[in-house]
């Protein structure tokens, strides 16, 4: 008998033979069906929820992890975590529906006007890349800026004759089904066909996005150059380089140099599903250029942020910090005299993994939190939580920006102390509908409730996870400041550029309060959106910017945090919520 995937968009109808003991997730991965498996199948993220129709006993019993995440049941369907459900019976079919989840991806950065001097140009009826004739001119000539994030892909389609961004598209990185961080991808790449599968998935996804953008455009044409940015693991998987060396000491990529291949070499434009492709939109001779890497886990995306923010041009007295907060946070500090960088493993807590109420930026995720104490005439009170969700949908969990707000509010209200521990539970806490829960095990603070009445709460364990994540970022900043020398301190920073999707949605003041961002005046923090893809755009349309990229990459020093002598000392000094100790 078979396992059949239904109602899942283009994947509907895919099926495979039932094999006892296999998880549903393993089928999804094998059949290339998109699913988010942020925790790598450990039952911790709750993002691999599927709806199952089968006879009793066809699947293993629900695990404890599933009881926590399953939200709605109907008489017909049972919700299950794909990673936890194993096939027990093979004599009756199992039907699975994979719900589509809309992720909110930050697509745009700030477009900066720069002189148009692309490598691709038209002369008469022909198109040239540098001096090479790459084909006949068939209408518009386009270029693509592609940002390959560990979680999301963003594509800009750019008219190379005007420099304008014609269209933008984004989607989840299809590799998330193999885990949500670069380490899990490196591990998967080590498996028998792992590297090949990861490469194929990312290129197929990019091809589809490009084809859809070009075909949807009123003036279809062809793409003649693609500029790619991404962290070292993402960039190298895209270009077909082994990422094995990034998984073992000294954790360096095979090469940090810029890379240029042709679309034909990478097989771009192939594997585009029928119905999407209407003529090949990527010329086989299209050049695909990957920006250089900086070192270890600081990649082409961080370099692109440096280019977009132009901190490398700043005069000596203007020292800036650029931070792109993510599972792997990249930080660059300096100006035209000196640039130093590091990466810090903040982990996925701010993306919702490993935090009991955490969830990614999906519909229904709590994104803003305010806690108010309401007192009666006797001075007794209870806490009221005001929150907003993405899409104004019923709450399903709390995403990164909501977690930062909740933490900052708990600290400000004195509900938790500087070590992240709940203070004594007072009467008001027990009585408050949204108040602290003192009994029944772990202390927690209720933020909201799901439609089914399940509590969405922040526990001390969750706070510990968030504490570690913010400390990792803070240590990175502090090490760079110390390393820069000259007694450089937070107060000397001219601007803190906050790049990336996560940074764009956080409340700056709250991020400073919890110590995720350095304690500068909030006005000094400038959110620059998806600066990585903007850097890629600039490199696509400007030869000068590309020369800058290659020169700047060579002079950015790279610091490995764990190799710093005083790493532990700095770690301890940044641990906990310093302002409230």
List residues binding ligand FES (CB under 6 A).
37-39, 41, 43-48, 81, 83
Work out how close the CB of 373 gets to ligand FES at its nearest, in angstroms, rounded to a whole number.
36
Owner of token pair 């996804």: 205
Q: How far is CA 406 from CA 50, 53, 115, 197, 547, in A?
A: 29, 38, 44, 39, 44
Measured from the CB atom, is 41 or 500 closer to ligand FES? 41
At 538, list the tokens. 């600039």
Measured from the CB atom, is 36 or 510 closer to ligand FES? 36
DSSP structural state of residue 39: T
DSSP string over 452-474: T--EEEEEHHHHHHHHHHHHHHH
Measured from the CB atom, is 48 or 288 closer to ligand FES? 48
List the one residue out of 462, 430, 270 whose CA is nearest residue 355. 462
List the one residue out of 269, 447, 266 whose CA is nearest residue 364. 447
Measured from the CB atom, is 46 or 402 closer to ligand FES? 46
Where would I find the H helices in 316-454?
400-412, 427-431
> CA 179 from chain center: how many Å?
12
Work out how close the CB of 483 gets to ligand FES at its nearest, in angstroms, rounded to a whole number.
37
Find all residues with CB under 8 Å of 126, minimum gap 6, and list them.
133, 135, 136, 137
Owner of token pair 């075909």: 215
Distance from C-alpha of 41 to C-alpha of 128, rounded to nearest angstrom: 47
Work out how close the CB of 302 gets to ligand FES at its nearest, in angstroms, rounded to a whole number.
28
Instruction: Please give the backbone phi and psi of residue 542, each rounded to the nearest 5 degrees, phi first.
Output: -140, 115
Work out how close the CB of 389 gets to ligand FES at its nearest, in angstroms, rounded to a whole number.
21
Measured from the CB atom, is 23 or 538 closer to ligand FES? 23
Work out how close the CB of 184 gets to ligand FES at its nearest, in angstroms, rounded to a whole number.
10
Work out how close the CB of 208 gets to ligand FES at its nearest, in angstroms, rounded to a whole number.
24
Distance from C-alpha of 138 to C-alpha of 223, rounded to nearest angstrom: 10
Measured from the CB atom, is 29 or 286 closer to ligand FES? 29
Distance from C-alpha of 114 to C-alpha of 164, rounded to nearest angstrom: 11
Work out how close the CB of 177 gets to ligand FES at its nearest, in angstroms, rounded to a whole number.
8
Work out how close the CB of 39 gets to ligand FES at its nearest, in angstroms, rounded to a whole number.
4
Work out how close the CB of 244 gets to ligand FES at its nearest, in angstroms, rounded to a whole number.
24
Work out how close the CB of 37 gets to ligand FES at its nearest, in angstroms, rounded to a whole number.
4
Owner of token pair 């560990």: 150
Measured from the CB atom, is 99 or 139 closer to ligand FES? 99
Measured from the CB atom, is 5 or 571 closer to ligand FES? 5
Q: Within 13 Å of residue 481, how many CA atoms lie on the same side as its CB?
A: 18
DSSP string over 201-250: HHHHHHHHHHHHHHHHSSS-EEEEEEEEEE-HHHHHHHHT---GGGGSTT
Work out how close the CB of 179 gets to ligand FES at its nearest, in angstroms, rounded to a whole number.
8
Measured from the CB atom, is 43 or 438 closer to ligand FES? 43
Measured from the CB atom, is 353 or 481 closer to ligand FES? 353
At 423, list the tokens. 């203070």
At 214, list the tokens. 């070009």
At 56, list the tokens. 């009793």
Measured from the CB atom, is 37 or 499 closer to ligand FES? 37
CB 471 within 8 A of CB 495: no
């Amino acid at each position: 008998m078979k396992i059949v995937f239904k109602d899942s968009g283009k994947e509907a109808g895919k099926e495979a033979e039932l094999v006892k003991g296999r998880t549903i997730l393993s089928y999804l991965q094998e059949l290339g069906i998109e699913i988010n498996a942020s925790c790598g199948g450990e039952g911790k993220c709750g993002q691999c929820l599927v709806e199952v129709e089968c006879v009793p006993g066809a699947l293993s019993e629900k695990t404890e992890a599933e009881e926590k995440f399953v939200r709605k049941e109907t008489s017909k369907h049972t919700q299950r975590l794909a990673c936890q459900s194993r096939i027990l019976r093979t004599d009756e079919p199992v039907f699975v529906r994979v719900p589509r989840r809309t992720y909110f991806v930050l697509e745009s950065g700030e477009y900066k006007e720069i002189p148009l001097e692309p490598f691709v140009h038209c002369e008469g009826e022909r198109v040239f890349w540098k001096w090479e004739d790459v084909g006949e001119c068939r209408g518009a000539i386009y270029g693509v800026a592609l940002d390959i994030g560990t979680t999301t892909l963003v594509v800009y389609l750019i008219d190379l004759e005007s420099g304008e961004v014609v269209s933008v598209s984004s989607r989840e990185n299809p590799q998330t089904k193999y885990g949500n961080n670069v380490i899990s991808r490196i591990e998967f790449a080590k498996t028998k066909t792992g590297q090949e599968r990861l490469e194929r998935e990312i290129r197929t996804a990019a091809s589809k996005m490009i084809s859809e953008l070009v075909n949807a455009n009123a003036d279809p044409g062809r793409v003649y150059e693609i500029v790619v940015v991404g962290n070292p693991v993402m960039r190298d998987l895209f270009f077909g380089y082994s990422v094995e060396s990034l998984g073992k000491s000294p954790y360096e990529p095979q090469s940090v140099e810029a890379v240029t291949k042709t679309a034909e070499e990478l097989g771009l434009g192939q594997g585009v599903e029928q119905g999407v492709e209407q003529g090949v939109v990527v010329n086989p001779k299209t050049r695909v250029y990957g920006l250089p890497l900086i070192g270890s886990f600081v990649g082409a995306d961080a370099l692109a942020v440096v280019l977009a923010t132009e901190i490398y041009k700043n005069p000596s007295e203007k020292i800036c910090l650029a931070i792109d907060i993510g599972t792997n946070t990249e930080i660059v500090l300096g100006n035209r005299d000196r640039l130093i960088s590091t990466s810090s493993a903040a982990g996925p807590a701010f993306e919702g993994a490993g935090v009991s109420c955490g969830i990614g930026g999906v519909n229904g995720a709590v994104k803003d939190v305010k806690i108010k104490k309401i007192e009666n005439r006797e001075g007794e009170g209870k806490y009221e939580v005001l929150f907003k969700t993405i899409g104004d949908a019923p709450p399903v969990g709390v995403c990164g920006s909501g977690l930062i707000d909740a933490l900052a509010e708990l600290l400000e209200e004195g509900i938790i102390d500087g070590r992240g521990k709940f203070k004594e539970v007072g009467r008001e806490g027990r009585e408050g509908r949204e108040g602290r829960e003192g009994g029944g095990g772990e202390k927690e603070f209720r933020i909201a409730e799901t439609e089914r009445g399940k509590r969405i709460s922040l526990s001390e364990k969750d706070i510990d996870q968030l504490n570690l994540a913010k400390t990792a970022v803070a240590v990175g900043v502090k090490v760079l400041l110390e390393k820069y020398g000259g007694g450089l301190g937070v107060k000397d920073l001219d601007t803190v550029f906050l790049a990336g999707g996560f940074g764009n949605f956080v409340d700056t003041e709250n991020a400073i309060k919890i110590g995720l961002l350095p304690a500068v005046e909030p006005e000094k923090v400038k959110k620059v959106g998806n600066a990585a893809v903007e850097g890629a755009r600039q490199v696509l349309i400007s030869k000068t910017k590309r020369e800058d990229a290659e020169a700047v990459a060579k002079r950015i020093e790279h610091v490995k945090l764990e190799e710093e002598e005083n790493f532990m000392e700095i770690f301890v000094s940044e641990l906990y919520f310093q302002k409230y100790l």
